[in-house]
Structure 1
Amino acid sequence: MTISKLDRRTFFRGAALAGGTAAFSAWLPAWAQPVSAGIARPLPTVSGTDIALRIAHQMMTIDGRESHAIGINGTVPAPLIRLKEGTTVRLSVTNDLDEDSSIHWHGLLLPFHMDGVPGVSFPGIKPRSTFVYEFPVQQTGTYWYHSHSGLQEQMGHYGPIVIDPAGPDPIASDREHVIVLSDHSQLHPHAIFRKLKLQGGYFNYRKQTLGGLVEGKDQPLKDRLMWGGMRMDPTDVSDVTGSTYTFLVNGHGPKDNWTALFRAGERVRLRFVNASAMTTFNVRIPGLRLTIVQADGLNVRPVAVDEFQMAVAETYDVIVEPEDRAYTLVGESVDRSGMARATLAPREGLVAEVPPLRPRPLATMKDMGMGGMDHGKGSTPVATDCPPEHAAMGHCTPAPVDHVAMGHGSGGMNHSMRDMSLAPTVKDTATVQTISPMPVDRTGEPGQGLDDVGHKVLVYRDLMALTRNPDVRAPDRAMEVHLTGNMERYMWAFDGEKLSEVKEPIPFIKDERVRVTLVNDTMMGHPIHLHGHFFELVTGHGEFAPRKHTVQVQPGGKVTFDVTTDAIGDWAFHCHLLYHMHAGMMQVVTVRPRTGDGA
């Protein structure tokens, strides 16, 4: 039995009998260890229309342990950049590293040559040189910025952005805090990547055991044999886990206990940014209802929940109304191998009970892309026989799944998990380990491990835009992109082709409407980010569909969105799991003027 599974009261009581908790505190995971008064210090902030940023090596201290990092202006996370809608900003970025660097302004709408992706939109920032980004600020909300060079983001090269509206903010609050969630390792990111290439599941120390089988806590033997026969591991939920990661809140570890202060009775706005390299977080504040008011920087109709899953690179703004007591803010990793922990309190020095980690989730048949086998229970496939003009308005009934045709009659599964005929656009390469036989739309589900937590968890279909979308035209055309991978060889790609193998970018014409369906042929969730654009999720809300710049495609599932390609230039399109992108899960989207346009 691991310490994380112990009842904490029982553990402390036993420790007291043995002579006090001090002797035993070292055995507790970081998130459960006793803390001091905490760190009630907001992020450093820079603002205005002329901002200087300096990228450099530095040391940072996490839970009392020093670690090497790359920061900006001497801090990790980098300073909060506070901008104003309607202004033009000049950001002078100096690179003091001995290697090229860059800054990508994640979610910001700007000219493509200011987007900050080396080799796509600009050449990068050479060592000991300065590059000036200049662009109009034409939006509001919570965003972030980070390196798009190598693996620098993992080392601390990231920070939040808040853009205040030119007029009154429609979201009323008395106080706000920016909450940057991230992951940090003492291992150099290239060492992490090398280990992932050497052995699939290298950091997964929580595989199923004989003890788990005997106790009935893991899968029964017949299911284990089935998964083993397919050479798949249902515990392989995250590539990099709490075995090497410390999960951070605003650059602080769980023992540091970063603290956000408030006064009882206030409406507090929490601006969450998932700036991690590889970690999907399940976020909750036990004892507090969370009202989601913004997703990816854009206002949504308020949704009251108890928890939400936050993919890498997503942002959510939340309103809470705490009472005169302390609360624990929990960012639990999706595989339950650790948590980011902070405190929300009316006074410094207060702490609240930290809940134990919940049991780790196990992948299911649906995560293998066999969602159609549940005959529609718990999932609703997106219609495939629906006219675009009706589908765009969310007026279609889901198309039925032909289980007999797929070999799912009484005889069970009759086809290979690598049936390339199911995905004719996918290249038959070593990067394709599996093809999802029956992927389903999972936007109505809360995410892995959250189906049975006993409280309300946000799902994408809960989100509705606060105002009517700017473009509600039906799609001009449709395309499908498959998210493919080979876990054993740690290869990741779109449609079976790594970025280094792609000969041509994905072409779009300015202002066309395209319906894109992302199909996840792997057993791991992928946060997919399209630079320079927002897209509307096709979730049945028609002209009030939620607009996002990043979307999590659950394992074995699919997501459909409509996009207006209104930004001329070359734009990155990639999985935001850093090591997946580094391994090849990225392509370039090119938007060109229509023939005869003078643009």
Structure 2
Amino acid sequence: MTRMIDRRALLAVGGAAALAPWLPLWARPVSSGLPTVSGTDIRLKIAHRMLTIDGRTSHAIGINGTIPGPLVRLREGTTVRLHVENALDEDSSIHWHGLILPFHMDGVPGISFPGIAPGTTFTYEFPVQQSGTYWYHSHSGLQEQLGHYGPIVIDPAGPDPVEHDREHVIVLSDHSPMHPHVIFKKLKQMGGYFNRQKQTLGGLIAGEDQTLGERLRWGAMRMDPTDISDVTAAAYTYLVNGHGPQDNWTGLFRPGERVRLRIINASAMSIFNVRIPGLKMMVVQADGLNVRPVTVGEFQIGVAETYDVIVVPEDRAYTLVGETSDRSGMARATLAPRAGMTAPVPPLRKRPLATMKDMGMGAMGGMDHATMDHGAMDHGGDHGAMKHSMRDMDLAPTVKDTPAVQSISPMPVDRTGEAGQGLEDVADALTYRDLVALDRNPDTRTPSRSMEIHLTGNMERYMWAFDGVKMNAVKDPIPFRLGERVRVTLVNDTMMTHPIHLHGHFFELVTGKGDHAPRKHTVNVQPGGKVTFDLTADAPGDWAFHCHLLYHMHAGMMQVVTVRAPEDAA
């Protein structure tokens, strides 16, 4: 049976908080404006609709008539049937992001199932084996950009180790009145089409940006240090639970309550830096799995990541800020003890500039833009320590020499101890090395083999790939033997941050935390950096492995991981 409750209506009732103790968890006062479906038999309908954001209406795709789609609330230990009707005039799908399930229920057309044809209904059925904060979205074309996404909360079968009095689900996303295929076409025509924050003569004179010499060097390398995000506020409005900054979504609380914020980045292309001025956040969960509490003032959330935080607000209003990593725009919401209250909205901070470390020169120590001899990098000259070009294929023998490779990071470094672009000067920002799993890892075996995968791209031609090979040119999947333990290192040869997601699995980040390494399903790999994780290939089947920046995946940064028992792989 499907149960639905409109949180906005519930919060409008003055006694909602007082009634909370006897209400079931799925019905307690949580996020206004997010209807909920719950139980073990749920119906969802994908259909066109119009969406009005900050007074401007445009075409979108919703689930059960809303954007985001309804909160799907499940319970660990049950088996759920989700009947998904496709009312579009094209194929569609739903991928249950971060959920551990049989591969044929994963929802990726062409890999795990054929897709959902127009006018038909597909029933997903799987056991709910976990708890935590997750989300769902289309894996068909570019539908996700149009609003085809929604949150998932799975309540634990037993007591929840995270004590809280109230919760709000915070779905961050981006929306544009421009059709996603038009956005992609413009990116193919010019990779920096939406970058409106390029350096100017005024910035040079004021000394706010690079010096003239630095600009000339970066220009000779055909690199733009302001090119942090492919799609910016020039095209996007940034949303909280489907509401624009002027719409000001508001979540209510009682002063002194422990409020749990389940924060999901369901955007297509936007990496957010999240903070609540005047309020510290205690991170208690990452990607749906509990971590030892760590208190921070800000954190970066990559596309498809989730973080749960606990806040204890006082009797005042607070602004929740989701500032994009390029600082071109922000999602904004309010947390308040009473409806109608607002708090000051901070201005956008100065936009960041990429550095030589973002170019893969992280091991060069004090050498910076001004001292770097670009001739060695761009033309293969022999200049001191740099005896290679930016496309020296000898640096990465596994990378194919294709047009999808503009450069190879000559000196990539592990950047998991850094908070991410735009947060370099924020002292209390979260890093991956701050995360420690609450529970001991289920598999602590030493990996039996290792592999290295390069994230490659060509911004000028807007081509993205793994190891220089786009999805449409891949001949064989990435093979794993069922049950084997593998150490994987992702090397980012580009100047873009890539949130990399592996379907059907969690992996342990190698950050020095031993058998309490943080387990994730999506990881941000910073520009010119690398991330290492240990993976247990415990889910048989074929699984998507891709960058979760939608247009990067669409342009080729995706492959298939296959997990087979040794006798099946022969």
TM-score with structure 1 length normalisation? 0.87
Q: How does 1:97-116 map to 2 (within 5 A)?
A: 97-116=88-107
Residue 524 of structure 1 aligns with which residue? Answer: 496
CA distance in 1, matches of 2:535, 2:122: 31
Letter in 1 for 2:58: S
Give how far 1:409 is off: 11
CA distance in 2, matches of 1:482, 1:413: 21
CA distance in 2, matches of 1:360, 1:375: 23
Give how far 1:410 is off: 8.6
Conserved 8 A contact 2:498-2:549 = yes
Give how far 1:375 is off: 6.8
Conserved 8 A contact 1:42-1:177 = no
CA distance in 1, matches of 2:193, 2:232: 10
Letter in 2 for 1:527: P
Matched, 1:427 2:400: yes
Deviation readout 1:136-168 (Å, 9 max, x if unpaired):
000000000000000000000000000001111
Deviation readout 1:54-94 (Å, 9 max, x if unpaired):
00000111011111100000000000000000000000000
Residue 400 of structure 1 aligns with which residue? Answer: none
State the 4+ residue runs in structure 1 displaced beyond 4 angstroms: 407-410
Matched, 1:226 2:217: yes
Residue 432 of structure 2 aligns with which residue? Answer: 460
Residue 186 of structure 1 aligns with which residue? Answer: 177
Matched, 1:440 2:418: no
Match of 1:275 among 243, 250, 266: 266
Match of 1:141 among 129, 132, 143: 132
CA distance in 1, matches of 2:285, 2:384: 47
CA distance in 2, matches of 1:525, 1:212: 25
- Aligned length in residues: 530
In structure 2, do the counterparts of structure 1 residues 167 and 208 end up closer, same or farther at CA, with 3 Å as the change threshold?
same
- Structure 1, unmatched stretches of 5+, are 1-38, 378-406
Conserved 8 A contact 1:427-1:497 = yes
In structure 2, do the counterparts of structure 1 residues 408 and 249 end up closer, same or farther at CA, with 3 Å as the change threshold?
farther
Residue 415 of structure 1 aligns with which residue? Answer: 388
Residue 321 of structure 2 aligns with which residue? Answer: 330
Letter in 1 for 2:434: D
Letter in 2 for 1:440: V
Match of 2:549 among 573, 577, 580: 577
Conserved 8 A contact 1:40-1:348 = no
Letter in 1 for 2:462: Y
Matched, 1:125 2:116: yes
Residue 147 of structure 2 aligns with which residue? Answer: 156
Residue 265 of structure 1 aligns with which residue? Answer: 256
CA distance in 2, matches of 1:135, 1:241: 38
Residue 58 of structure 1 aligns with which residue? Answer: 49
Residue 376 of structure 2 aligns with which residue? Answer: none
Matched, 1:503 2:494: no
Give how far 1:412 is off: 5.4
Match of 1:486 among 449, 458, 465: 458
TM-score with structure 2 length normalisation? 0.91
CA distance in 1, matches of 2:61, 2:222: 38
CA distance in 2, matches of 1:376, 1:64: 49
Deviation readout 1:101-133 (Å, 9 max, x if unpaired):
000000000000000000000000000000000
CA distance in 1, matches of 2:92, 2:328: 32
In structure 2, do the counterparts of structure 1 residues 423 and 347 end up closer, same or farther at CA, with 3 Å as the change threshold?
same
Residue 470 of structure 1 aligns with which residue? Answer: 442
Conserved 8 A contact 1:143-1:315 = yes
- Structure 2, unmatched stretches of 5+, are 1-29, 369-379
In structure 2, do the counterparts of structure 1 residues 551 and 376 end up closer, same or farther at CA, with 3 Å as the change threshold?
farther
Match of 1:248 among 239, 243, 250: 239
CA distance in 2, matches of 1:198, 1:439: 29
Conserved 8 A contact 1:40-1:258 = no
CA distance in 2, matches of 1:275, 1:267: 25
CA distance in 1, matches of 2:157, 2:443: 23
> Cα RMSD (Å) of the superposition?
1.7
In structure 2, do the counterparts of structure 1 residues 53 and 596 end up closer, same or farther at CA, with 3 Å as the change threshold?
closer
Conserved 8 A contact 1:282-1:308 = yes
CA distance in 2, matches of 1:408, 1:272: 48
CA distance in 1, matches of 2:408, 2:498: 15
Give how far 1:582 is off: 0.2
Conserved 8 A contact 1:518-1:558 = yes
Give how far 1:451 is off: 1.3
Q: How does 1:373-384 map to 2 (within 5 A)?
A: 373-374=364-365
CA distance in 2, matches of 1:40, 1:597: 47
Residue 194 of structure 2 aligns with which residue? Answer: 203
CA distance in 2, matches of 1:595, 1:46: 42
Match of 1:553 among 525, 546, 565: 525
Give how far 1:200 is off: 1.7
